Amino acid sequence: MNLCPCGARGDPAAECTCSAQRLARYRDKLSRALLDRFDVVVAMPRARAVELAAGPSEPSAAVAERVSAARERLAAAPLPRTADADALLSRAVERLPLSGRGRARVARVSRTIAALAGAEQVGADHLAEALSYRSPQELAAA
């Protein structure tokens, strides 16, 4: 979804014309309970011409191979969290409005990130990255 009704919010090349009330009404259309069910929420800026004209980057076959290897690792045994990762997750639950479902989703995404990186354990850096993929409204409350 766009960050605002006019679609210009967050775009350095355009000026958002939405009032605070209009933004609030727009955001209120999605309930916190619904947003809590998304594992990953990422704000994507509008693509620029140079980005659209760029050639392909990493081939899909290489990505598919990495994803397959990560799935096998996760199916074999769950990756344990380090003490630092546990502490970060506990602090996040206390400081962010993370529900039990949100905490579980952050933990699951952090395991996926660690598996894709080929790590043996879920570290604080993997957990921090997973937290960065939560909804912007949650992170703004920190």
Bridge partners (DSSP) of residue 122 are 81
Q: What is the CATH number of the domain that holds 126?
A: 1.10.8
Could you tell me if residue 13 is inside a domain? Answer: no
Could you tell me if residue 50 is inside a domain? Answer: no
pLDDT band at 114 (very low <50, low <70, confident <90, very high): very high
Closest CA to 116 of 70, 63, 54: 70
Could you tell me if residue 74 is inside a domain? Answer: yes
Could you tell me if residue 64 is inside a domain? Answer: yes
- pTM of the entire structure? 0.76
Give the mean pLDDT of 82-99.
93
Residue count of the chain, please give it: 142
Could you tell me if residue 110 is inside a domain? Answer: yes
Q: How big, in percent rounded to 5, are the helix, strand and coil portions of the chain? A: 55, 0, 40
Structural domains of the chain, count: 1
Could you tell me if residue 17 is inside a domain? Answer: no
User: pLDDT tens across 45-66, in order?
Assistant: 778 888 889 888 889 999 999 9
Could you tell me if residue 109 is inside a domain? Answer: yes
Q: Which domain holds residue 125?
A: 58-140
pLDDT band at 136 (very low <50, low <70, confident <90, very high): low
Could you tell me if residue 2 is inside a domain? Answer: no
User: pLDDT tens across 17-36, in order?
Assistant: 999 899 888 888 877 788 77
